[in-house]
Chains A and B, each alone.
Chain A
Amino acid sequence: MSAYSTNEMMTVAAARRLGNSDVTFVGIGLPSKAANLARLTHAPDVTLIYESGPIGAKPSVLPLSIGDGELAETADTVVPTGEIFRYWLQGGRIDVGFLGAAQVDKYGNINTTVIGDYHNPKVRLPGAGGAPEIAGSAKRVFIILKQGHRTFVDKLAFITSVGHGEGGEHRQQLGLPGAGPVAIITDLCIMEPEAGTKEFVVTSIHPGVSREQIIAATGWPIRFAEQVAETQAPQKHELEALRALEARTAAAHGQAGGEE
């Protein structure tokens, strides 16, 4: 077993969640890296859709922007952006929405808009992009981001994209078609919503990470499931595929893809 970084563990753990037949709506950055790793390892037939219009993209290097030419050239088809959101997402054809976030709360709600008051912001973030409707309409949602007490917060200043809302049955009451977030994958652990409350609890801890580290890196009193697994360490073939993908990306762009 070769040594690996916590970021590599996060990407590999996220990639493993994707199945070979999943039609996946992919966000740029970490989600795109994990989704392409899945395609290059255990899920060669996974369908990747990017909001700029490519359906069935098979990039050999990671895109830096959501509309890189590589995505169009390797896609089964390229459709207008309006069609992506209208026919393919709202039409109910997306199995998995794969999202990043600036901040999440314990119900998997996402903030990518603002820190502080909206009208007098402390930090102005990029905004919604495609995430609110991906979070609403995809059949399942995965969220991937690095864990820290500033990113995993008790109360979001702004809910850009809804997860399980206020918990319990709230999401169904809102009338959202998809099941919402089913996993948050971080550099420390995997969290899944607890039955009933829909509060995210730790269900798998990455090798070498302690419960205390996870508690310290979470802005709410994080709970652990009754059965907590140890995440399988990245395997040789996973690390090789990931590192080769990153090396190709760096060679093509002069910078790493998806480290935002």
Chain B
Amino acid sequence: MAEILSLGEAVSRFIHDGDSIALEGFTHLIPTAAAHELIRQGRRDLTLIRMTPDLVYDLLIGAGCAKKLVFSWGGNPGVGSLHRLRDAVEKGWPQPLEIEEHSHADMANAYVAGASGLPFAVLRAYAGSDLPKVNPLIKSVTCPFTGEQLAAVPSVRPDVTVIHAQKADRKGNVLIQGILGVQKEAALAAQRCIVTVEEIVDELNAPMNACVLPNWALTAVCLVPGGAHPSYAHGYYERDNRFYQAWDPIARDRESFNAWIDTYIRGTADFAAYQAKLQEAKQ
């Protein structure tokens, strides 16, 4: 049953050094605030799972929180490279990063399999691609009915999934709207699930067939308004495209990156303080 907690307490209690974690959200509802809190609390040796590492994992990799990355597309959307990810892969800074690389279809299927309690996913994929040559976890199976060769990949079953959503009610039931990505599957595939939300309301008033995660399927719900910035929360705020562009020069250089996280993340008490500092710097 979900407890309604501060994000600091939820991260402290439910995410440990060495855990495998999935911070999901496909361009939309990316749980940035949770990544900041992991940096503040100095988590180490995390296995980071996410289809699109985006800025949220560029941060965690550059801050030295990660030992391994499981992913399928690692760029800064509409801008270019993730420089901290590239520096870790190409130069081993700030520490070597093991990578396990898939395609989107593979990871989406692997989350579905994880949520379904299955050990692996099966899909029609990878024939003629070099990815199976560099990722030994991509294997094949023969269909017992038709004899067709299909790709088999291990299901994704993180220790902890963190997602961001629009709202929860006071019991901790969560409503997600707009582009859903793999958030529901990631939540249900994990041992523990933390959801940060824009607001906590008396009544969800969820439309029929809406994506609702019941409180008994979750571990913690945390109120963090704006917690998906610089991505967006449909109905609350738009994607901050300028921040994605501004990230490029910050992350390109090790010193400017370190200075940025020291000032804005390690130098702030929580996400609200971070937002206030960011706002100050704009003026």
Which A residues contact B (CB, under 8 angstroms)? 28, 51-54, 64-69, 71-72, 78-82, 84-86, 89-90, 109, 113, 118-119, 121, 123-124, 126-133, 136-137, 158-162, 165, 170-171, 174-177, 253-255, 257, 260
A113 CB contact (under 8 Å) in B51, B130, B244: B130
- In B92-133, which residues have CB < 8 Å from any A CB? 101-105, 108-109, 111-112, 123-131
Q: Do residues A130 and B128 form an inter-chain contact, with CB atoms below 8 A? A: no
Residues in chain B near residue A79, CB distance under 8 A: 180
Considering the chains assembled together, what is the distance between the CA atoms of A90 and B250 in angstroms? 40
- B73-103: CB near A (< 8 Å → 1, else 0) gives 1110111110001100110000000000111
A81 CB contact (under 8 Å) in B78, B89, B103, B181: B181
With A69-B232, A86-B109 given, name 10 new contacts (CB 8 A): A64-B241, A65-B27, A69-B179, A69-B234, A81-B108, A82-B111, A86-B108, A132-B131, A254-B241, A255-B78
A136 CB contact (under 8 Å) in B26, B73, B125: B125
User: What's the nearest-Cβ distance from chain A to residue B132, in Å?
Assistant: 10
Considering the chains assembled together, what is the distance between the CA atoms of A109 and B149 in angstroms? 21
* B217 close to chain A: CB less than 8 A: no
Residues in chain B near residue A133, CB distance under 8 A: 103-105, 123-125
- In B228-254, which residues have CB < 8 Å from any A CB? 232, 234, 238-239, 241-242, 244-245
Q: Is the interface of A mostly helix, strand, loop or mixed?
A: loop
- In B23-38, which residues have CB < 8 Å from any A CB? 26-28
The closest CB in chain A to the CB of B30 belongs to A67
* B71 close to chain A: CB less than 8 A: yes
Residues in chain A near residue B26, CB distance under 8 A: 52-53, 66-67, 81
Q: Do residues A175 and B234 form an inter-chain contact, with CB atoms below 8 A? A: no
The closest CB in chain A to the CB of B124 belongs to A90
User: What's the nearest-Cβ distance from chain B to residue A81, in Å?
Assistant: 5
Residues in chain B near residue A176, CB distance under 8 A: 127-128
Q: Do residues B74 and A161 form an inter-chain contact, with CB atoms below 8 A? A: no
Residues in chain B near residue A159, CB distance under 8 A: 128-130
Residues in chain B near residue A253, CB distance under 8 A: 241
Residues in chain A near residue B80, CB distance under 8 A: 260
Residues in chain B near residue A162, CB distance under 8 A: 127-129
Residues in chain A near residue B27, CB distance under 8 A: 52, 65-68
B28 CB contact (under 8 Å) in A67, A84, A109: A67
Residue with the greatest number of chain A CB neighbours at <10 A, chosen from B77, B79, B80, B128: B128
Q: Do residues A127 and B74 form an inter-chain contact, with CB atoms below 8 A? A: yes
* B5 close to chain A: CB less than 8 A: no
Residues in chain A near residue B101, CB distance under 8 A: 113, 127-128
Residues in chain B near residue A89, CB distance under 8 A: 105
- B: contact size bracket: 35 or more
Residues in chain A near residue B111, CB distance under 8 A: 82
Considering the chains assembled together, what is the distance between the CA atoms of A183 and B102 in angstroms? 26
Q: Do residues B108 and A128 form an inter-chain contact, with CB atoms below 8 A? A: no
Residues in chain A near residue B105, CB distance under 8 A: 85-86, 89-90, 130, 132-133
Considering the chains assembled together, what is the distance between the CA atoms of A132 and B101 in angstroms? 13
Q: Do residues A82 and B109 form an inter-chain contact, with CB atoms below 8 A? A: yes
Considering the chains assembled together, what is the distance between the CA atoms of A113 and B129 in angstroms? 11
Considering the chains assembled together, what is the distance between the CA atoms of A137 and B125 in angstroms? 9
Could you list 25 A-B pairs, sorted by A, with CB under 8 Å? A28-B77, A28-B78, A64-B77, A67-B27, A67-B181, A69-B179, A69-B232, A80-B181, A81-B182, A84-B108, A85-B105, A86-B112, A123-B90, A124-B86, A127-B74, A130-B105, A132-B125, A133-B104, A133-B123, A136-B124, A158-B130, A159-B128, A159-B130, A174-B128, A257-B78
Q: Which 6 A-B pairs have the closest CB atoms?
A: A67-B27, A162-B128, A64-B78, A126-B75, A129-B73, A65-B77
Considering the chains assembled together, what is the distance between the CA atoms of A108 and B19 in angstroms? 41
Q: Do residues B78 and A260 form an inter-chain contact, with CB atoms below 8 A? A: yes
Q: Do residues B179 and A54 form an inter-chain contact, with CB atoms below 8 A? A: yes
* B170 close to chain A: CB less than 8 A: no
* B155 close to chain A: CB less than 8 A: no
Considering the chains assembled together, what is the distance between the CA atoms of A255 and B79 in angstroms? 10
Q: Do residues B129 and A132 form an inter-chain contact, with CB atoms below 8 A? A: yes
* B58 close to chain A: CB less than 8 A: no
The closest CB in chain A to the CB of B123 belongs to A90
B149 CB contact (under 8 Å) in A66, A121, A175, A254: A175
* B204 close to chain A: CB less than 8 A: no
The closest CB in chain B to the CB of A28 belongs to B77
Q: Do residues B178 and A78 form an inter-chain contact, with CB atoms below 8 A? A: yes
- In B49-87, which residues have CB < 8 Å from any A CB? 51-52, 71-75, 77-81, 85-86
